[in-house]
């Protein structure tokens, strides 16, 4: 496990917080693609040594997430290193996309949308 490593991916930054939660900060500002999703998964695998983690995913700005990425992200295959995911979303438009993702793509692991990090972290800690 690489506890003190931050990995910059094609879509943002990934690192393990001191509380044991894997943090992904989405910095890409146009569209999240399957390449970006795969880069995030590879970073989680590298940092976590192949163990599953609770993921805190922070969207600071609105970003499109293409259909292929949403479908794959919800799959069992994409979640081999995931226990649960909390999305922190501040954009009203992205909240709609996030709710659509949960209702239509039906992620294989517990997934919830939050508007602040404290609530998201508190919820994720119930899975640790």
Assign residue 108 the CATH number of its domain: 3.30.750
- Whether 74 is in a domain gets the answer yes
Q: Is the pLDDT of residue 42 over 90?
A: yes
- The strand ranges marked E within the chain are 6-8, 12-16, 22-26, 31-32, 53-59, 64-65, 82-89, 111-114
- Whether 1 is in a domain gets the answer no
54-81 mean pLDDT: 94
pTM beyond 0.75, yes or no: yes
- Whether 118 is in a domain gets the answer yes
- Whether 30 is in a domain gets the answer yes
Q: Where in the sequence is the domain holding 40, given as residue range(s)?
A: 6-125
The pLDDT value recorded for residue 60 is 83
CA distances from 66 to 33, 40, 118 (A): 6, 15, 28
- Whether 97 is in a domain gets the answer yes
- Whether 39 is in a domain gets the answer yes
107-117 mean pLDDT: 97
Say how many domains are in the chain: 1
The pLDDT value recorded for residue 99 is 95
């Amino acid at each position: 496990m690489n506890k003190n490593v931050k990995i910059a991916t094609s879509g943002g930054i990934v690192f393990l917080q001191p509380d044991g939660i894997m943090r992904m900060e989405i910095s890409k500002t146009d569209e999240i693609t399957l390449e970006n999703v795969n880069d995030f998964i590879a970073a989680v695998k590298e940092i976590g040594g192949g163990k599953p983690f609770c993921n805190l995913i922070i969207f600071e700005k609105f970003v499109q997430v293409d259909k292929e990425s949403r479908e794959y992200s919800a799959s069992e295959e994409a979640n081999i290193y995931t226990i649960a995911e909390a999305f922190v979303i501040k954009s009203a438009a992205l909240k709609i996309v996030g709710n659509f993702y949960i209702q239509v793509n039906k992620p294989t692991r517990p997934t919830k949308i939050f508007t602040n990090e404290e609530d998201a972290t508190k919820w994720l800690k119930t899975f640790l």
